[in-house]
């Protein structure tokens, strides 16, 4: 929902451009008047100075000279000094209150770097605007790449500093014109490479810098320092190799045992998450896939579904995740969006230490809570979810709670199930992934996915832990319905087995 804020900024900028063009029009009109005056007097003075006495011998010429110098040049002075900036400056001052802050710019840069890592995109791919599903292709300039590298540098993120300073340098080498000098880019790049321990590359880049600017003070100092450190490193590596050779003679490493230990090391959760976001690492086998079906579903002949059963598709088997197609109409989506827009607020997370709800730099979505009594469309949607799931909606979440003990305040127990509407298509990215089981569910407008968070016994099904992937291209609108335990006692009776 950051999309709404960004859309407002687009219209703000459009308004400023209109104001700027009006200022330019007024300036061009003023300069045109000055130019006409200058051309007229240029011709007149050229003629007059060829024969001053003869020219001034004409009484009208003498009168007009007095008139010009006494009043007309004063009018010209007023025209030259006329301030046409008032309208533009006042508009700019008024709109400035809506401008993004330095923090916003840094956040946008970090979001771009996160997309780069999650979807394994090269700096060149992003700079050229070659992203999947892109309609409005936008190329980054040297200054853009340099700014992104500087933000990474200020965060001591030397990996991304190197990537983006190297991209800026490549574009300069290819002949792109820029106010950013090569030596300046290379200075940042050099430090980033050094901080990552690559002394040889840092030394080579320093030598290249000195070819461009032999008097560069820092480069001259770095040259001696890098040469000294490199020699020191080579001696240390030689000594280490000698010691390792001696140890290898005494003890042979059991490769099979080492391989066995490595196979037990699980893939870090972050890596699992990123692979699933890219559509990699999905663990559903062909045999399990063959057991997933599509069907028309009336939920045991529910009266409201008999004549219009819903389209149900199995997305995953364990845990069971199902998708319902054409479950929400375009007009209903529009209504939900219009109701939500005025009250969208930055989403929060629960601090793992204090339990207090707070914003986090990695969660930039915005959310709003809608109640059934606010609009008949919301009431209809809630009824539809109840018909399909056969779960009580009266105890489902409707209002956002800012207290850390939100569920306790509701008095409706834990979240038994999740219903997730997709209210937009996404050009690239934006999947909902379940890292523990390797499942990935992709957005499709007008559909909804549903799963149980708890076993029938009331125990948590931790395989349903999920996360949203960042949107690479496009916008993502979703609507959640979190259904709680209370009220489901007869609709979903408790099981005797813990994992049932």
Per-residue model confidence as pLDDT tens digits over 323-358: 999 999 999 999 998 888 777 765 665 566 666 666
SS3 string, the chain, reads CHHHHHHHHHHHHHHHHHHHHHHHHHHHHHHHHHHHHHHHHHHHHHHHHHCHHHHHCCHHHHHHHHHHHHHHHHHHHHHHHCCCCHHHHHHHHHHHHHCCCHHHHHHHHHHHHHHHHHCCCCHHHHHHCCCCCCCCCCCCCHHHHHHHHHHHHHCCCHHHHHHHHHHHHHHHHCCCCCCCCHHHHHHHHHHHHHHCCCHHHHHHHHHHHHHHCCCCHHHHHHHHHHHHHHHHHHHHHHHHHHHHHHHHHHCCCCHHHHHHHHHHCCCCHHHHHHHHHCCCCCCCCHHHHCCCCEEEECCCCCCCCCCCCEEEEEEECCCCEEEEECCCCHHHHHHHHHHHHHHCEECCEECCCCCCEECECCECCEECCCCHHHCHHHHHHHHHHHHHHCCCCCCCCCCCCCCCCHHHHHCCCCEEEEEEEECCCCCEECCEEECCCCEEECCCCCEEEEEECECCCCCECHHHCCEECCEEECCCCEEEEEEECCCCCCCCCCCCCCCC
Span 155-184, average pLDDT:
96
Confidence of residue 495 (pLDDT cuts 50, 70, 90): confident
Quote the percentage of the chain above a pLDDT of 90.
55
pLDDT of amino acid 498:
63
Confidence of residue 148 (pLDDT cuts 50, 70, 90): very high
Span 121-139, average pLDDT:
88
Q: pTM of the entire structure?
A: 0.75
Confidence of residue 317 (pLDDT cuts 50, 70, 90): very high
Q: Is the pLDDT of residue 252 over 60?
A: no
Confidence of residue 100 (pLDDT cuts 50, 70, 90): confident
Most confident of 38-42, 99-103, 212-216: 212-216
Mean pLDDT of the chain: 85
């Amino acid at each position: 929902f950051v999309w709404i804020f960004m859309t407002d900024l687009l219209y703000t900028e459009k308004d400023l451009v209109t104001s700027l063009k009006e200022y330019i029009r007024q300036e061009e009109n003023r300069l045109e008047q000055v130019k006409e005056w200058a051309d007229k007097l240029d011709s007149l003075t050229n003629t007059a100075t060829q024969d001053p006495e003869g020219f001034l011998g004409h009484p009208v010429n003498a009168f007009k000279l007095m008139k010009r110098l006494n009043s007309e040049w004063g009018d010209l002075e007023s025209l030259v000094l006329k301030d046409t900036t008032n309208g533009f400056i006042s508009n700019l001052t008024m709109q400035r209150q809506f401008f993004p802050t330095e923090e916003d710019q840094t956040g946008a840069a970090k979001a771009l770097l996160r997309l780069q890592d999650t979807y394994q995109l090269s700096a060149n791919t992003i700079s050229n605007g070659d992203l999947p599903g892109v309609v409005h292709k936008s190329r980054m300039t040297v200054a853009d790449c340099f700014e992104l590298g500087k933000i990474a540098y200020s965060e001591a993120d030397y990996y991304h500093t190197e990537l983006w300073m190297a991209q800026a340098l490549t574009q300069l080498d290819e002949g792109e014109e820029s106010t950013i000098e090569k030596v300046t880019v290379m200075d940042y790049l050099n430090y980033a490479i050094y901080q990552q321990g690559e002394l040889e590359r840092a030394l080579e880049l320093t030598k290249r810098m000195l070819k461009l600017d032999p008097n560069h003070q820092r480069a001259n100092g770095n040259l001696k320092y890098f040469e000294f450190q490199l020699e020191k490193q080579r001696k240390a590596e030689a000594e280490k190799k000698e010691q390792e050779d001696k140890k290898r003679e005494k003890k042979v490493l059991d490769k099979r045992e080492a391989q066995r230990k490595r196979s037990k090391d699980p893939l870090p959760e972050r890596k699992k998450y990123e692979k699933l976001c890219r559509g990699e690492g999905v663990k559903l086998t062909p045999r399990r896939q063959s057991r997933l079906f599509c069907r028309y579903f009336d939920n045991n002949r529910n009266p409201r579904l008999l004549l219009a059963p819903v389209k149900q598709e199995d997305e995953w088997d364990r845990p069971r995740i199902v998708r319902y197609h054409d479950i929400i109409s375009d007009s209903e989506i529009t209504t939900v969006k219009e109701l939500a827009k005025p009250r969208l607020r930055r989403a929060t997370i629960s601090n793992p230490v204090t339990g207090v709800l707070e914003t986090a730099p990695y969660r930039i979505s915005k959310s709003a809570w809608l109640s059934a009594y606010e609009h008949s469309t919301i009431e209809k949607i809630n009824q539809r979810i109840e018909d399909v799931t056969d779960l009580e909606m009266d105890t489902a979440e409707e209002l956002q709670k800012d207290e850390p003990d939100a569920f306790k305040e509701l008095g409706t127990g834990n979240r038994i199930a999740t219903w997730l509407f997709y209210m937009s298509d996404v050009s690239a990215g934006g999947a909902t992934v379940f890292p523990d089981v390797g499942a990935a569910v992709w957005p499709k407008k007008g559909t909804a996915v549903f799963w149980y968070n708890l076993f029938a016994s009331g125990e948590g099904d931790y395989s349903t832990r999920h996360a949203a992937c960042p949107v690479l291209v496009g916008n993502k609108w979703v609507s959640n319905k979190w259904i709680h335990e209370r009220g489901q006692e007869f609709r979903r009776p408790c099981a005797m087995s813990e994992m049932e």
